[in-house]
Homo-oligomer: A and B are copies of this chain.
Amino acid sequence: MMRTRPLKVALLGCGVVGSEVARIMTTHADDLAARIGAPVELAGVAVRRPSKVREGIDPALITTDATALVKRGDIDVVVEVIGGIEPARTLITTAFEHGASVVSANKALLAEDGAALHAAAEQYGRDLYYEAAVAGAIPLVRPLRESLAGDKVNRVLGIVNGTTNFILDKMDTSGAGYSEALDEATALGYAEADPTADVEGFDAAAKAAILAGIAFHTRVRIGDVHREGITEVTAADIASARRMGCTVKLLAICERAADGRSVTARVHPAMIPLSHPLASVREAYNAVFVEAEAAGQLMFYGPGAGGAPTASAVLGDLVAVCRNKLSEAPGPGESAYTRLPVSPMGDVVTRYHISLDVADKPGVLAQVATVFAEQGVSIDTVRQKGRQDKSGEASLVVVTHRAPDAALSGTVEALRKLDTVRGVASIMRVEGE
């Protein structure tokens, strides 16, 4: 039942991901045609630098006018891999308007304005698919949207940024400091020249917003996500985690509140036990845990970035969107019917690992413990150690029980004001227990 008129694909962007999409569309054309039920044809490629030589791509397809390409009217699917908010947003809505469905890898745009894009897709009866926007090749969007559509997801917890995982893994295995590990990541191509989006947690926060929205059938924007990056993580933090039988990971955590009436989404470094499966996620790999009421605990693991893995996710969506085109039935659209509000970080229930430099004299522990009690925070363990350097200082490591983040951060503020507390050497949340 093969249709002979090919489906036409416009590619917006031809960088690391786009060029790989174009390459696979050519080398695996027969397989794609068999799986879709019709051949697919690259009908145009919009780029910024038309003079660059692009192996395997017919130069006649190259254009710098992306708007004209999406307006052509004969394009069935637009693949958007340029990233950023504009011109991507306008190009996608223009594509919908002119008859095309869209496959996008644009996490920043989806986390900023996903609801409006979904509304535009629905208005024109098109598909908007974006598996590649979260965790590269790892199937996550489709499993959450479709496989778990009959279940109730309560928690998503994962490592969704490869650059920061590479840096933290280096710090953990080599004892290196943050800057040294970042330099290595940059030299090896795991970090970009400007690593801000990764190391400050913006990239992970965008993914957390997308995952939380899909998982809880609500709307979560990047601005709703509490975000802390890894730039403040020190070699001492990592060593301290090791002593607790833990390691440090940058986690994206999306949770439904215990009463089910709100959700939270956050990205921050956290200590997790070495026995936790996420602790053994090395280098630039990603892994995501999904906890659902009936399914229990599922884990998805794989390469979270890179040209070929991201292209794999794009092409999986391309096949699905092409099939939907042929059957004239769009796939599942936005599911945001729960309209659950996103609570602030202060409401999140978590645990803190706090390392204090204190005066080495009697009564300090009692003072510190009183502060915790006043804030309603219960202490799990305390480790007290006099320094060998005769500085008159000791260190006090406190791990709390679970408490609202507002109470925990209030406790830290109160501790800072104690005369006997010379400094707060490290604060880190503890997860995965």
Contact = CB atoms under 8 A, between A and B. Distances in A.
Interface of A: 20, 24, 28, 31-32, 34-35, 131, 137-139, 142-143, 146-152, 217, 277, 280, 292-303, 306, 308-309, 311-320, 323-324, 327-330, 332, 335, 337-338
Contacts of A319: 146, 149-150
A133 B323 CA distance: 24
Given A142-B142, A142-B143, A143-B139, A150 B294 contact: no
Contact of A150 (B292, B302, B312, B327): B312
Given A147-B131, A337-B34, A298 B24 contact: no
Contacts of A328: 329
Q: How many copies does the complex hold?
A: 2
B24 A150 contact: yes
B148 A316 contact: yes
A394 to B, nearest CB: 38
A298 B140 CA distance: 11
Nearest to A2: B337
Contact of A295 (B149, B312, B323, B329): B312
Contacts of A217: 31, 34-35
10 contacts: A24-B151, A34-B337, A137-B295, A139-B298, A146-B146, A151-B316, A294-B309, A294-B311, A296-B309, A299-B299
A9 to B, nearest CB: 11
Nearest to A136: B295
Contacts of A316: 146-151
B295 A309 contact: yes
B139 A335 contact: no
A27 to B, nearest CB: 10
Contacts of A298: 137-139, 300-302
A13 B297 CA distance: 26
A320 B146 contact: yes
A139 B139 contact: yes
A212 to B, nearest CB: 17
A327 B323 CA distance: 13
Contact of A308 (B34, B296, B332): B296
Contacts of A312: 148, 150-151, 292, 294-295
